[in-house]
Amino acid sequence: MAAAAAVSSAKRSLRAELKQRLRALSAEERLRQSHLLTQKVIAHSRYQNSKRISIFLSMPDEIDTEEIIKDIFQQGKTCFIPRYQFQSNHMDMVKLESPEEISLLPKTSWNIHQPGEEDVREEALSTGGLDLVFMPGLGFDKDGNRLGRGKGYYDTYLKRCLQHQGVKPYTLALAFKEQICLQVPVDKHDVKVDEVLYEDSLAF
């Protein structure tokens, strides 16, 4: 148990440090890196070959996903967005009908737009699964280890994907270069991401 406590404490202090790093980023710098990553995503072969894509609606301290979402629709792909259940670590990926719809969705206590519980929508796993999942997170290392916000939504969801569709969707993290760490502390429940995209990352 001592090892688990050490990982938990290391995660806590790294989260605090990363939040501080992100707070120090100017709006211009966030926009610059978001724009650059949007270009990287659109040129990425995994993205081009994916039909069913799940993407997060970004918070102010995350890479802005708005332009990627618009491109998903322009390319005729199907777009799914997270619907978090706040009383548990359960999350569904529900279908988004258009980029314009986002601003009309109710906001959660985290200030994220998401469809309400009573809003009946297609869930990705019930209609054929996902090819690609864009992963948010607070920190990442170059080996694909990810530090989330501590709720385990994505780790749990990816395990469900595996049960439903037999293969894990390709996971692509979007990160500011300030979110890249030397080493992210992980425990056995943490799922690695396949690839971390950031300003200086090399294309696969």
What pLDDT was estimated at residue 131? 97
In 3D space, the residue among 94, 92, 83, 89 whose CA is nearest the CA of residue 52 turns out to be: 94
According to the model, what pLDDT value does residue 89 have?
A: 81
Q: pLDDT tens digits, residue range 56-107?
A: 999 889 999 999 999 999 999 999 999 998 888 899 999 999 999 999 999 9
- The CATH fold assigned to 2-197 is Rossmann fold (3.40.50)
Give the residue numbers of the binding site for substrate. Answer: 57, 62
6: burial class by Cβ within 10 Å (0-12, 13-18, 19+)?
exposed
User: What residues form DSSP beta bridges with 132?
Assistant: 53, 170
d(CA 131, CA 118): 27
For position 202, what pLDDT does the model report?
75
How far apart CA 81 and CA 70 sit, in angstroms, is 13
Binding-site residues, in ranges, read 11-15, 57, 62, 146-154
Model pTM score: 0.93
The domain ranges of the chain are 2-197
Q: What is the predicted pLDDT for the residue at 1?
A: 61
Q: Please report, in range form, the residues annotated as the binding site for ATP.
A: 11-15, 146-154
Q: How far are the Cα atoms of 15, 44, 142 from residue 202, in angstroms, in the given order?
A: 25, 11, 11
